């Protein structure tokens, strides 16, 4: 584990923004901290980036404690914050060369590295214009490039695409995807499920300072959403009969009055059994739809639309393992 | 797994400071509005005081000769004050976070802002003095007096810039950072910069004679024009040194207060 986080806590005033958060990130993988505003994602990243001191627990990057050895940690990481931290009145090239020289690459080394990064991120054409004339997407890419001047062992991206238009977002995703294929370990925070789904190997779902679920995107969908079958019937009588017949299988009324909705394991065998039973009972079915939950469903189920996340988490049944793992960190 | 820790190079802080000094100077140079204002304002004030008010003010000699040191101090205060919005901007827009997440000394950033402030002030002072000479100002200072006057001004600029850097770190926005430095621009009026303190009401006069700018002005005036300095010399050096020490400590405190959360 190149990133090890154990029971991390942080309180601002009376607000507990991080509560016993624990996780690990294997080298070369991507972890997404996913959650709504105020979930504690940014605070977690700021602690890992040595910008904020935790008031409980510990965090290590490459084996070095972020509180006791911040200078060592800073040499290992790259951090790109929520807002493009570039100098508006410097050109893209000057911004990059400045970082290279601050990292002691020397004048020539910094110049070469800046040229490489400008090319890699498609910023050559605008390289010698002041960044204040650049688009939001270009500034974000410059911001990212500035975090990569010395290739970091771990790259932190705090909401890398918030506020970007779809095209810029897609460009940013490609850039991050390329980095990951190149072996960079990435920890990113996001409010966008699509982003987590697309970029991350593992997702840590956070709400109100706590980890409410963890797993691969597929695991989360399977655990917290579950696949479902929706059966469409020609008339309400058939729908009612199907509901009655399949009640033991957890059938409930579907999205419209002529449908029945029941949980499934996603396998063909289950579907055949259901259809056989309906056929034997003479209940007509006109169409069958198998739905896989989106991460949106998981997100909504676990964080709730508003208010008590604890109740929402209990309702869908967070696996005991996840809940216990979080407590243990304390 | 434990990643290897890279040792810091011996002159790392110096090299980092130089890079950030270059950055701050480049940013100042490109902030044309602020730069033009910091030169135009003192020039306009000088013209105003010399040609409009000057004729009615009795200083016991040519008013131009009397007022130039005051104008230089006003100019220098303005230049130093613009350090505050520059620092606030870095705090606000993530550049401080970027540098803090890198193995770069925090002092290098402050050094960058303060040295750039000195450079801005050197330029503005040179323009103001040149304009004064064109208007008829004839300093009778020798090289030694000039060196002493510039040395004192440098000390004064460093102290004010450090104070402005601290205020910039403390301010919640770039706008309020500008407002916080208001007194730096106001204080010269409450001194012997433009009129002798003798005509002020007693209470105001006590303030004017015991605030740090008056001894600095009296000393610079004495060095450049041969007016008597008296005890002002030591008072000026002590004030500036004390102010520099206190301002630096304040700037460090304000920076930590803002960043250690």
How confident is residue A88, by pLDDT bands cut at 50, 70 and 90? very high
Cβ <8 Å between A102 and B1? no
Structure tokens at B202: 């007693």
Q: What is the mean pLDDT of chain B?
A: 88
Q: Which residues of A touch B34 (CB under 8 A)?
A: none
pLDDT at A203 over 70: yes
Provide the token pair at A178. 């390329």
What number is the ipTM of this complex? 0.86
pLDDT per position as a tens digit, B43-98: 998 899 888 887 777 777 788 888 898 899 988 888 899 999 999 999 988 899 99
What pLDDT, on the 0 to 100 scale, is given for residue A225?
Answer: 64
Q: Which residues contact A34 (CB under 8 A, 6 or more apart)?
A: A41, A189, A190, A191, A193, A196, A203, A204, A205, A206, A295, A299
Average pLDDT of A195-202?
Answer: 90
Backbone angles phi, psi at A187, to 5 degrees: -120, 120
Query: Who has greater pLDDT, B6 or B149?
Result: B149
CATH architecture of the domain formed by A3-222: 3-Layer(aba) Sandwich (3.40)
Distance in angstroms (rounded) separating the CA atoms of residues A266 and A229: 8
CB contact under 8 A, B3 and A49: no
> What pLDDT shows up at residue A324?
34
Share of chain A above pLDDT 70, in %: 89
Burial of A270: CB neighbours in 10 Å, binned 0-12, 13-18, 19+: middle
pLDDT band at A319 (very low <50, low <70, confident <90, very high): very low
DSSP B112: H
pLDDT band for A158, please (50, 70, 90 cuts): very high
For the cut 60, the answer to whether the pLDDT of residue A306 exceeds it is: no
The enclosing H or E element of B16 equals: helix B12-30
Determine the distance in angstroms separating the CA of A5 from the nearest CA of chain B, rounded to an integer. Answer: 14
Is the confidence at residue A154, as pLDDT, over 70? Answer: yes
pLDDT band with cut points at 50, 70 and 90 for residue A268: confident
Alpha helices in chain A (DSSP H): 41-48, 70-76, 92-102, 106-120, 136-146, 166-181, 193-199, 217-224, 236-245, 268-280, 295-303, 309-316, 320-328
Range B227-245 burial, b when 16+ CB lie within 10 A, else e: bebeebbebbbebbeebbe
The continuous run of DSSP H or E covering A202 comes out as strand A202-207
The answer to whether the CB atoms of B98 and A64 lie below 8 A apart is: no
- pLDDT score of A316 more than 60: no
* Confidence grade of residue A183 (pLDDT, cut at 50, 70, 90): confident
- Quick check: B15 and A69 CB within 8 A? no
Q: B7 falls in which pLDDT band (50, 70, 90)? A: low
Distances (CA, A) of A96 to A18, A86, A145, A176: 34, 9, 8, 18
Confidence of residue A295 (pLDDT cuts 50, 70, 90): low
Element (H, E) at A8: strand A3-12
Q: Over 60: is that where the pLDDT of A321 sits?
A: no
**Residue A310, SS3 per DSSP:** helix
Q: Indicate the residue of A85, A101, A104 with minimum beta-carbon distance to B98.
A: A85
DSSP state of A55: S
Residues of A in contact with B19 (CB under 8 A): 98, 101-102
Interface residues on B facing A, Cβ-Cβ cutoff 8 A: 1-3, 5-6, 8-9, 12, 15-16, 19-20, 22-23, 26-27, 30-31, 93-95, 97-104, 108, 259-261
Question: Are B23 and A146 inside 8 Å of each other by CB?
Answer: no
Cα of A33 to nearest chain B Cα, Å: 19
- Split at pLDDT 50, 70, 90, the class of A233 is very high
For residue B210, the model assigns a pLDDT of: 85
Tell me, what's the pLDDT at B2? 55
Range with the lowest mean pLDDT among A87-96, A297-306, B83-92?
Answer: A297-306
Give the tens place of pLDDT for each residue, A48-61: 999 999 999 999 99
**A51 at the B interface (CB within 8 A)?**
yes
Cβ contact, residue pair A103, B103, below 8 Å: yes
Residue A57 Rama label (left phi>0; alpha psi -120 to 50; beta): left
**Sequence-separated (6 or more) residues with CB below 8 Å from residue B254:** B165, B166, B167, B169, B170
Backbone angles phi, psi at B10, to 5 degrees: -65, -45
CA distance A190 to chain B (A): 18
Q: Residue B22: in which H helix or E strand, if any?
A: helix B12-30
What is the average pLDDT across B8-16?
81
* Percentage, residues of chain B above pLDDT 70: 96
pTM over 0.90: no
Summarised one tens digit per residue, pLDDT across range A278-287 is 999 999 999 9
Of B22, B31, B95, nearest to A85 by CB-CB distance is: B95
Q: Where are the domains of chain A?
A: 3-222, 227-291
pLDDT for position A192: 84
User: Which residue in the set B2, B12, B93 is minimally distant from A62, CB to CB?
Assistant: B2
Residue A162 has pLDDT above 70, yes or no: yes
Lowest mean pLDDT among A278-287, A290-299, B237-246: A290-299
- Contact A157/B at CB under 8 A: no
| Residue B34 in this model has a pLDDT that exceeds 80 | yes
In chain A, which residue's Cα lies nearest the Cα of B30?
A: A89
Q: CATH says A227-291 is which class?
A: alpha beta
Q: Is the dihedral of CA A42, A45, A47, A52 positive or negative?
A: negative
pLDDT at A307 over 50: no
The β-bridge relationship of strands A3-12 and A56-61 is antiparallel
């Amino acid at each position: 584990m190149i990133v090890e986080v154990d029971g991390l806590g942080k309180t601002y005033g009376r607000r507990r923004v991080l509560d016993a958060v624990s996780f690990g990130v294997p080298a070369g993988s991507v972890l997404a901290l996913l959650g709504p505003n105020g979930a504690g994602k940014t605070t977690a990243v700021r602690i890992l980036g040595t910008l904020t001191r935790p008031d409980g627990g510990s965090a290590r990057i490459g084996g070095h404690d972020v509180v006791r050895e911040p200078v060592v940690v800073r040499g290992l990481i790259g951090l790109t914050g929520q807002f493009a931290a570039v100098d508006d009145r410097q050109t893209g090239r000057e911004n990059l060369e400045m970082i290279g020289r601050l990292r002691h690459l020397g004048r020539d080394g910094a110049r070469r590295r800046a040229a490489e990064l400008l090319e890699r991120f498609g910023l050559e054409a605008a390289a010698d214009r002041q960044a204040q004339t650049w688009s939001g997407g270009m500034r974000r890419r410059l911001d990212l490039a500035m975090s990569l001047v010395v290739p970091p062992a771990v790259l932190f991206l705090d909401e890398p695409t918030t506020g970007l238009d779809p095209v810029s977002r897609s460009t940013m995703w490609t850039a991050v995807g390329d980095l990951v294929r190149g072996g960079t370990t990435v920890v990113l925070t996001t409010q966008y499920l699509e982003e987590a789904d697309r970029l991350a190997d593992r997702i840590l779902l956070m709400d109100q300072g706590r980890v409410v679920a963890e797993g691969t995107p597929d695991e989360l969908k399977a655990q917290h959403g579950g696949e479902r079958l929706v059966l469409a019937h020609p008339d309400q009588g058939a729908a009612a009969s199907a509901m009655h017949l399949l009640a033991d299988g957890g059938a409930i009324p579907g999205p419209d009055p002529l449908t029945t909705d029941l949980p499934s394991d996603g396998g063909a065998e289950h579907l055949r059994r259901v259809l056989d039973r309906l056929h034997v009972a003479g209940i007509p079915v006109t169409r069958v739809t198998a739905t896989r939950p989106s991460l949106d469903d998981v997100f909504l189920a676990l964080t709730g639309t508003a208010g008590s996340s604890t109740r929402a988490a209990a309702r869908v049944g967070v696996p005991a393992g996840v809940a216990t793992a979080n407590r243990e960190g304390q | 797994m434990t990643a290897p820790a890279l040792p810091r190079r011996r002159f790392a802080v110096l090299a980092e400071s130089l890079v950030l000094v270059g950055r701050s100077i480049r940013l100042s140079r490109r902030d044309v509005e602020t730069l033009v204002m910091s030169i135009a304002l003192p020039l306009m004030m000088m013209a105003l005081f010399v040609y409009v008010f000057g004729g009615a003010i009795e200083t016991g000699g040519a008013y131009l000769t009397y007022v130039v040191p005051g104008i230089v101090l006003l100019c220098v205060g303005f230049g130093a004050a613009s350090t505050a919005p520059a620092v606030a901007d870095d705090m606000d827009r993530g550049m401080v976070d970027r540098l803090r997440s890198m193995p770069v000394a925090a002092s290098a950033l402050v050094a960058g802002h303060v040295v750039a402030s000195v450079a801005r002030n050197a330029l503005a002072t040179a323009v103001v003095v040149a304009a004064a000479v064109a208007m008829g100002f004839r300093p009778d200072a020798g090289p030694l007096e000039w060196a002493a006057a510039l040395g004192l001004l440098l000390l004064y600029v460093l102290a004010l810039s450090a104070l402005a850097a601290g205020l910039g770190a403390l301010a919640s926005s770039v706008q309020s950072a500008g407002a916080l430095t208001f007194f730096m621009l106001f204080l010269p009026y409450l001194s012997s910069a433009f009129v002798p303190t003798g005509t002020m009401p007693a209470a105001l006069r006590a303030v004017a004679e015991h605030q740090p700018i008056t001894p600095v002005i009296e000393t610079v005036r004495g060095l450049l024009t041969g007016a008597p300095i008296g005890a002002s010399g030591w008072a000026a050096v002590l004030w500036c040194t004390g102010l520099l020490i206190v301002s630096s400590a304040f700037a460090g405190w304000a920076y930590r207060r803002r960043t250690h959360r």
